[in-house]
């Protein structure tokens, strides 16, 4: 069985002496920094070793992101050391119960109905919607000092509160220079107490969405990241292990399916969640499942695999352990997973997302495979 993003922090914790499950075999060190490069796919790195020779040379293995391969799900899987069937952040957006029926929660922005909707942190407190302990909480309980090298706004975001859950010292960082300074500040202490830092850099993902994952613009960002890592490795003390990975890769869309224009796909459907590569379809009534499933499968025969929730759970799409009813209800009655380079967009409801050239979430190696890069 391939190792996954969810194996990283249990292995880090074991290297600190907190727990014994160390599937990735990390060696002990005083300090550890995990740097997540949003959108850093293993296939992208393999194809462009010439642009990123340091990252390629320091790669020690390949992980799978887990399904769906999307930021909100992956960051929570990283933080909890568990797949989304366990933690419940099952996609970019999914159904949650409300006083007047179900609504969509955009888990990346923690907003209702869409990425631009109302702030949902009061109505759906992140710590309630995702109540499980994170591995960072375990580290803190073990006496490890926690640090975050992330954009300042993320510290109180709904997703950070749901996934990471533990207090720590913030080193505000947006550009690579600030990320470097924050990591070096974490590693530059002289006392014996161990430190763990989670660091994050978003620009590769953002550029890939806007211009395509292998556009000149995205490859320029990849080159900048490689130079940054090469310099950082020369500056880090030997008492700090730097681990770098991604949350997903990305594909360039070449076949666009407009779900909003195909009215037959909306018969019997209450809500459509997810994102362009993985759609969750929630029905108005459960008895309509055979007809709606047949309609979607018939309309998208070459562009998506369409299955029922029951089939997806039987095949363990969301993790090896079946979810409880509370999490299972967040999964669509029907799931449509785009195949090849097709995308299932909603220009009327999701204009920003639908205009993107780069997408992720589904099963292709370009989306699922991420590198594990180590300074040691």
Identify the domain containing residue 308 by its residue range: 255-359
Co-location of 312 and 214 in the same domain: no
Separation CA 28–CA 144 (nearest Å): 13
Residues in a beta bridge with 241: 32
Cα angle: 329, vertex 333, 336; to 5 degrees: 125
Q: Is position 180 within any domain?
A: yes
Q: Per residue of the chain (376 residues), what is the pLDDT tens digit?
A: 689 999 999 999 999 999 888 999 999 999 999 999 999 999 999 999 999 999 999 999 999 999 999 999 999 999 999 999 999 999 999 999 987 889 999 999 999 999 999 999 999 999 999 999 999 999 999 999 999 999 999 999 999 999 999 999 999 999 999 999 999 999 999 999 999 999 999 999 999 999 999 999 999 999 999 999 999 999 999 999 999 999 999 999 999 999 999 999 999 999 999 999 999 999 999 999 999 999 999 999 999 999 999 999 999 999 999 999 999 999 999 999 999 999 999 999 999 999 999 999 999 999 999 999 999 8
Residues 261 and 167 placed together within one structural domain of the fold: no
280 and 214 in one domain?
no
Residue 283 lies inside a defined structural domain of this protein:
yes
CA pair distance 117, 134, nearest whole angstrom = 28
User: How much is the pLDDT for 101?
Assistant: 84
341 and 207 belong to one structural domain: no
**Residue 116 burial (10 A CB sphere; 0-12, 13-18, 19+):** exposed
114, part of any domain: no
In-domain check, residue 118: no
What global pTM score does this model have?
A: 0.97
Cβ neighbours, 10 Å, residue 45: 24
Distance CA(343)–CA(367), nearest Å, equals 13
Q: Report the domain count for the chain.
A: 2
**Does 242 share its domain with 265?**
no
> Is residue 246 located within the same domain as residue 259?
no
Query: Is residue 172 domain-shared with residue 278, that is, in the same domain?
Result: no
For residues 178 and 232, membership in a common domain is answered with yes
Strand order in the sheet with 31-37: 59-64, 369-374, 240-245, 31-37, 195-201, 145-149, 169-170
Cα(168)–Cα(89) distance, rounded to whole angstroms?
23
Q: Output the CA–CA distances (angstroms, integers) from residue 21 to 6, 7, 16, 53, 157, in the order listed.
A: 12, 9, 11, 31, 30
Task: With respect to residue 125, please indicate whether it lies within any of the assigned structural domains.
Answer: no
Question: For residue 117, what are its two tokens?
Answer: 């909707």
């Amino acid at each position: 069985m391939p190792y996954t993003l969810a194996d990283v922090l249990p292995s880090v914790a074991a290297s600190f002496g907190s727990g014994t499950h160390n599937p990735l075999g990390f060696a002990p060190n005083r300090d550890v920094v995990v740097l997540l490069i949003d959108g850093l796919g293993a296939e992208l790195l393999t194809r462009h070793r010439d642009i990123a020779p340091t990252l390629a040379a320091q790669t020690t293995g390949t992980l799978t992101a887990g399904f769906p391969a999307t930021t909100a799900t992956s960051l929570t899987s990283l933080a909890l050391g568990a797949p989304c069937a366990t933690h419940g952040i099952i996609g970019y957006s999914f159904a949650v119960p409300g006083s007047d029926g179900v609504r969509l929660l955009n888990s990346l922005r923690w907003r209702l109905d869409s990425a631009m909707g109302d702030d949902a942190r009061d109505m759906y407190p992140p710590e309630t919607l995702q109540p499980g302990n994170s591995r960072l909480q375990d580290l803190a309980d073990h006496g490890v000092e926690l640090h975050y090298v992330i954009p300042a706004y993320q510290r109180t975001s709904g997703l950070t509160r749901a996934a990471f859950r533990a207090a720590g010292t913030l080193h505000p960082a947006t550009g690579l220079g600030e990320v470097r300074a924050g990591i070096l500040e974490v590693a530059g202490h002289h006392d014996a107490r161990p430190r763990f830092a989670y660091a994050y850099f978003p620009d590769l993902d953002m550029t890939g969405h806007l211009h395509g994952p292998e556009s000149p613009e995205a490859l320029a960002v990849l080159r900048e990241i490689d130079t940054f890592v090469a310099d950082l490795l020369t500056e880090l003390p030997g008492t700090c292990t730097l681990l770098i990975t991604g949350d997903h890769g990305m594909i360039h869309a070449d076949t666009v399916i407009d779900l909003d224009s195909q009215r037959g796909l909306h018969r019997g459907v209450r809500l459509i969640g997810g994102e362009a590569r993985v759609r969750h379809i929630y029905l108005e009534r459960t008895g309509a499942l055979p007809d709606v499933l047949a309609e979607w499968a018939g309309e998208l025969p070459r562009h998506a695999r369409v299955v029922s929730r029951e089939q997806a759970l039987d095949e363990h799409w969301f993790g090896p352990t079946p979810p409880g009813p509370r999490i299972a209800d967040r999964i669509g009655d029907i799931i449509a997973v785009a195949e090849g380079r097709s995308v299932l967009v909603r220009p009327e409801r999701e204009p920003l997302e639908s205009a993107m050239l780069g997408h992720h979430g589904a099963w292709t190696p370009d989306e699922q495979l991420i590198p594990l890069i180590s300074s040691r």
